[in-house]
Amino acid sequence: MSIKGKCPICRKPTVHEFRPFCSRVCRDRDLLNWADESYRVPVAPEEEDSKERGEG
């Protein structure tokens, strides 16, 4: 069974070898985005406050 999808970076069809990406270029671009902290996970304000105080 073949599942077809689109690359999350450029929206081209995925290639099995680089899944979920279409190429090594898009795979590496995604890795660089994580390394450069371009992707962020939102944090609720109350979680930020408790971390600053050393709680939790």
Cis bond upstream, residue 13 (ω within 30):
no
- Rounded Cα distance, 51 and 17, in Å: 40
CATH of the domain at 13: 3.30.50.10
Task: Please check whether residue 56 lies inside any domain of the structure.
Answer: no
> For residue range 19-44, what is the model confidence (pLDDT) as tens digits?
999 999 999 999 999 999 998 888 88
Range of the domain at 16: 1-48
Answering whether pTM is above 0.75, one says no
Predicted local confidence at residue 45, as pLDDT: 79
Percent of the chain with pLDDT strictly greater than 90: 59
- How confident is the prediction for the chain on average, in pLDDT? 85
Predicted local confidence at residue 46, as pLDDT: 75
Q: How many domains does one find in the chain? A: 1
* DSSP letter for each residue of 11-43: -PBP-GGGTTSSSHHHHHHHHHHHHTT-S----
CA 24 to each of CA 31, 33, 34, 42: distance values in angstroms, whole numbers, following the listed order: 10, 14, 16, 28
Task: Please check whether residue 53 lies inside any domain of the structure.
Answer: no
